Structures are given as C-alpha cells and as structure tokens.
Amino acid sequence: MKKRRTLLIILGVLVVAAAAMYGIGWLLFPDSPTTVFTAQMHIPRPKPEVIIRIHLGSLEIPITNTAFSSFFAMLVLVIIVLLVRRSINRRSEEERIRNPHGVQNVAEWAMEYLINLLEGAAGTERIKKRPLGRMIFPLVATLFIFIIFANWFSLVPGFSTIVVAPPEAAEHHEAVPVEGHGDTAAQEHETEGHGTERVLWFFGHGSEEPAPLLRAPNSHLAITAGMAVIAVVVVQVLGTMKHGAVGYLKHLATDAPGAMKGIMFPIHIISELSHVISLSARLFGNLYGGDVLLAVIFNLLAPLIPALFLGIEAFFYYIQALLFSVLTTVYIAMAVGGGHHEEEAHAAQ
C-alpha cells in the first residue's frame, strides 16, 4: 500500500529528527538534554530595542533592530532583483519574448498579478490622460513588495531568536554624578573616554537585557506610520494634480450624494487623518500581534505544532500587504475620481 508506506516514512523522519535533536541537546547541555525542546523566546515589547549606536561627535544615531532588519530585507531584495535582471539580460530579445522561461516567467507572473490588482482597484480613473493603475504602479507595487517581503522574512528562523547585548545610551555616561569624589570622577572620565573613542557601538556592555538582533520591520509603529504617511500624502498630491488646488478643496467639500453637499469638508479632513492611523495601526497590530503570538506559541507547545502557526501568520501577512496596497489605491481613486464633469465637458466639445 503506497499510502501506508508514505505514512511510515513520514513517521520515521519525525522520529529520526526528534532523536537528532535529543542527541544535539545531550551534546550541548549534558545535564539537561531536553532544553532544546523548549524555546525560550523573547516576547517583544511594542517599543523596539536599540542595538547599534553611532556616535559622530556629540550626535548620536541609534539604530533599532527593526530598522536593521528592514535594511537587511532591502539589501536582500536589491540582490534578488539584480540577480533576476542579470539572468534575464543573458537571453536575447527574441528568446525573451517568445519563450519566457524560469526566472523571467516568475517575474512576469508577479508583475502581472500586481498590475491587474491595481488596475482592478483603481477602476477607470484617469490622471493626466493615463490610466490611474499604471501611474501609481511604481509606488504601490513597491509598498506591496517591501511589506510582503519584510513580513515573510520575519518568519525565517533566526528572527527574534538571535539575541545581542544592546549598547547603553549616551545618557548613562552623562548620568554619572559630578561630585568631588576622586573615584567617581575617575569613573566618569573613563566612561567618557569610552563614549568618545568608539564611533560604532554594537553589542555593548550588556547592562540592559538582551535584545533580539532581528525583528519584523513592520512590528515597529514608526515604520508602518512612515509608509502610511507617504501613502496619504501621495493621495493628496494626486488629488491636487487632477483637480487643481482649488478644485481639490471643492472636491473634498462637495463629493457626496445629494443633500450632504457642502458640509462634507471637515468630515473628509478627519477621514484622511484617520486613514493614516488606520493604515499604520492595522499593519503594526497584525505584525506585532503575530510576533507575540508566535513567541507565546513556541514557548508553550511542542516543537512541531507551532509550525502550523507559522503558516497561518504567513497567510495573514500576505493579506496585510495586499490590503495596504489595495486600500492606498482605493483612496487615490476616490481622491482622483469625481472628474466626471470634466469628462462630460470634453465629450460635449
């Protein structure tokens, strides 16, 4: 029976994996070999930890682990794109068009999926005589690719588990009291010497609790708020481009069905502000909640069951990336829309 054989093989692999883990546990921790079966994950705080401090004279630039992860994700993305580009450029023009193969096929599928998504969400709006979907594709597709890649990257083993000792803040050095004691004065000079000699502070003295080296970039409210602010500012800019400055204000005031015209202006202003909050809080809440959920699940359950939650979170992270970009497109389409009176005027001529 083929089914029975596959089942036995799967069972055998699981038993061998468990035995190997126990063996490694016995090698590393001879007196408590089952330590490898429990994961002591660090449940993250909403405020991310600073792991690198760059001192340039009196200026200090702290870099959090979320920012570090986002730089890392961007670097990997750039490398992937360059590799894809190189492998596509190797083929001749004809081969590329007539027989897309391998990496080119995947890239084309991804881009087609994104442009269909955006053109579907943007509808039939036009801006500067071009379809809206194509016009906003660079920005919104970038948001989508960054969000989904950063989110999925955070499910790779190693995120939130590799910990480092965070460097102390410069305030700790200045906080030493300037009293007339000989030894305190010597200590102060010593720590000041440390602060001014080294420019880059990784992995400091470890007086604070250990911090994970890598953390999901979107689990930092600042990063999601940055993207949300960019999206909403672009909405206003495109609305102004389409309707003109006065026209856009009129559009905000009167774009409502029937009897509500004229009093919609404050409501629209507030709803634009709430778009910033909703976009950023939605992404942050999902990512941070996902991090906490995974940390707790890995802490509570056996080594194999949490894999299910990794899969669930992967699906939800995809949904969040999709939602962010589609909502941005919908907001832009609503701000740019309502140009029907202009189109009628053109058609009448």
Partner 1 sequence: MDPKFAAALAMGIGSIGPALGIGMAVAKAMEAIGRNPEAAGPIQGVMILGIGLAEAVAIYAFVTALAILFT
Binding-site ranges for partner 1 (CB under 8 A):
45-47, 120, 278, 281-282, 284-286, 288-289, 319-320, 322-323, 326-327
Separation of alpha carbons 92 and 163, rounded Å: 47
Q: Is 315 exposed, middle or buried (0-12, 13-18, 19+ CB in 10 A)?
A: exposed
Q: Which helix (H) or strand (E) holds 237?
A: helix 221-243
Cβ distance to partner 1 smaller for residue 188 or 291: 291
Q: Residue 154 or 320: which CB sits closer to partner 1?
A: 320
| Beta carbon nearer to partner 1, 116 or 184 | 116
- Report the residue number, 69 or 320, with the smaller CB distance to partner 1: 320
Q: Least distance from C-beta 344 to partner 1, angstroms?
A: 29
Q: How far is the CB of 80 from partner 1 (least distance, A)?
A: 26
d(CA 230, CA 88): 32
Please say which residue, 9 or 270, places its beta carbon nearer to partner 1.
Answer: 270
Tokens read off for 34: 């089952």
| DSSP string across 57-104 | TTEEEEEEHHHHHHHHHHHHHHHHHHHHHHHHHTS-HHHHHH---THH
Residue 154 vs 286, nearer CB to partner 1: 286
Task: Kindly state the smallest distance separating residue 289's Cβ from partner 1, in Å.
Answer: 6
- Closest CB 2 distance from partner 1, rounded Å: 33
CB of 42 to partner 1, least distance (A): 15
Cα–Cα dist 20/286, whole Å: 35
Pair 221, 284: CB distance under 8 Å: yes
φ/ψ of residue 178, rounded to 5: -95, 70
**Three-class DSSP category at 209:** coil
CB of 97 to partner 1, least distance (A): 28
109 to 101, 103, 114, 117: CA distances (angstroms):
11, 10, 9, 12
